[in-house]
Amino acid sequence: MKDFAGKIAVVTGGGSGMGRELVRQLAAEACNIAMCDVSEEGMAETRQLCEAAGLPQGLRITPHLADVSDEAQVERFRDEVAERHGTDKIHLLFNNAGIGGGGSMFAHSREEWEKTFNVCWGGVYNCTRAFLPMLLKAEEGHIVNTSSVNGFWASVGPRIPHTAYSAAKFAVKGFTEALITDLRINAPHIRCSVVMPGHIGTSIPLNSRKIQSGNLSDEINARQIAQARARIASMGRDVTSLSDDDIRKMIAERERRFREEAPTSAAEAATIILDGVKADNWRILVGNDAHQIDELVRQAPERAYDLDFFESFAAKAGWRVP
């Protein structure tokens, strides 16, 4: 698909981060967009940014409130897209929504673990199932599933458990690769790509904190402090001497650093993704760090979880050693 003008794209997680930048860049190319998110405020801001940049005459950008881990909400989202865009088809599906949390099978609750897995993997599955009939009716289509470097390397460092997110992203990668054959046999006009970003400057730590606690405000509440304590303890650190204010400061600093000190911006990531779709690349690595870790894991997979492996990679990629 070399041209997005006049097409209809569905983007999940369009209220912030890479989802927002995908919406902005697709709109700039005269693509109609239906975005979903759990934050109405975030989607409103995304739309305002698109309007401020100037929209082509008649272009539609519609926001839809939906949790992609909930099949019923996804099906309602699909029906709203059909109604509000006056169509029975879409051309592009960007399964982008994701959250973190549930890093440890020991320190974190089953609820937190499964919420992460169900958003990051279940959202991809639910949306692909729901929108596939609309893709089938289009003259051409493309499914773009966001995995991660954690879809081929289940680590963010040797001292940080990272089970739920990694398990989900491995599932997304495997599902997308399997879709290549499934689509070739049953729907050859539909292509698919798996996106594997490295560290991208987004608000995913902040958004994950809000969603996992059920509190969508910026305030760091008691439950969020308790969850942060569990995460820090799962890294083998003693948290008994840390006050609630200490924890709050650590949370805020972690979120700031993740967003502001990333080697690749969300806008740069969106450009790489869209260029990859136009080039019909089924595998889209995003960021120099993603390319580096991919190469290193392929060279020595049996060493991928050794301490010196991470330290060597972190030094090359500019990642902080935890």
Q: What is the tens place of the pLDDT at every residue in 136-152? A: 999 999 999 999 999 99
In a domain, 270, yes or no: yes
Confidence grade of residue 217 (pLDDT, cut at 50, 70, 90) = confident
Distance of alpha carbon 98 from alpha carbon 12, whole angstroms: 9
In a domain, 222, yes or no: no
**Residue 40 structural domain:** 8-201+265-317
**Is pLDDT above 60 for 321?**
no
pTM: 0.93
Name the domain count of the chain: 1
In a domain, 244, yes or no: no
In a domain, 250, yes or no: no
Classify residue 130 by burial, with Cβ atoms within 10 Å: 0-12, 13-18, 19+: buried
In a domain, 209, yes or no: no
**Is pLDDT above 90 for 314?**
no
In a domain, 221, yes or no: no
Beta carbons of 42 and 20 less than 8 angstroms apart: yes
Q: What is the pLDDT of residues 231-275, one digit of tens each?
A: 888 878 888 899 999 999 988 998 898 888 899 999 999 999 999
Alpha helix segments (H runs only) across 118-240: 123-136, 163-186, 204-213, 222-233
Both structure tokens of 263: 């080697």
In a domain, 108, yes or no: yes
| CATH code for the domain in which residue 59 is found | 3.40.50.720
